[in-house]
């Protein structure tokens, strides 16, 4: 799959703000500052489609990007640190939970993990939650360019031994080099072709 056209449609602060055209959606989840917006920009080959920031907690709504009038990429607020304090973090957590549990057009989740650190406790919680859902998900290990190939292989081998990656598809990714871009797009294309169960 190759992206020809991508456009920002809406930053939803409640579920009723989300698109109503029935197109399937792929959500991008992960802790604050893990690189969700950078991944979306690289997939779409658009530098400024999703706004990026070096400061964590920038995304404070569900940002929806229509891709080739075929589906939406939905950039979820990062979990963990949020600029605006605990009340905003709780509100964002609630809308994200409702979206993941209730959105009928949601077809899959791309779960991002910082390759430099491996899964955090919150990442592990999210992976367990996703395992329990009838929803396809892909683990994307971001910032892979910051690690040597050997260190990446050791990370994946350790996670395999621990059972963390058992039966789970995963891809190393770099927004700098584009490593993993084709794999992520290929996985999304496959998910969109597979009928919902």
* DSSP state, residue 174: -
Q: Are 115 and 33 in contact (CB under 8 A)?
A: no
pLDDT in tens, 17-64: 999 999 999 999 998 889 999 999 999 999 889 876 544 444 568 999
Q: Domain limits of the chain?
A: 6-193
Which residues fall within 8 angstroms of residue 179, CB to CB, at 6 or more apart? 144, 145, 172, 173
Which residues fall within 8 angstroms of residue 108, CB to CB, at 6 or more apart? 26, 27, 135, 136, 137, 138, 188, 191
Q: Is the pTM of this model over 0.95?
A: no
pLDDT in tens, 63-118: 999 999 999 999 998 876 444 445 545 655 688 888 998 999 999 999 999 999 99
Q: What is the pLDDT of residue 92?
A: 56
Domain 6-193, CATH: 3.40.50.300
pLDDT in tens, 142-191: 999 999 989 999 988 888 887 777 778 999 999 999 999 999 999 999 99
């Amino acid at each position: 799959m190759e992206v020809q056209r991508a456009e920002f449609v809406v930053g939803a602060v409640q579920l009723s703000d989300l698109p109503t055209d029935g197109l399937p959606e792929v959500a991008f989840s992960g802790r604050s500052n893990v690189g969700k917006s950078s991944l979306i920009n690289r997939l779409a080959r658009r530098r400024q489609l999703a706004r990026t920031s070096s400061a964590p907690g920038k995304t404070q709504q569900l940002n929806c990007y229509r891709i080739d009038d075929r589906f939406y990429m939905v950039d979820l607020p990062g979990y963990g640190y949020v600029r605006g304090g605990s009340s905003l973090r709780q509100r964002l957590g609630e809308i994200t939970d409702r979206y993941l549990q209730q959105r009928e057009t949601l077809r899959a989740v791309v779960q991002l993990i910082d390759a430099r650190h491996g899964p955090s406790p919150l990442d592990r919680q999210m992976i367990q939650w996703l395992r329990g859902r009838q929803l396809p998900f892909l683990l994307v290990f971001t910032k892979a360019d910051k690690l040597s190939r050997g260190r990446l292989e050791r990370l994946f081998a350790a996670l395999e031994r621990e059972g963390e990656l058992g039966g789970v598809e995963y891809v190393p990714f770099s927004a700098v080099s584009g490593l993993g871009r084709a794999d992520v797009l290929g996985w999304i294309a496959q998910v969109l072709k597979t009928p919902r169960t």
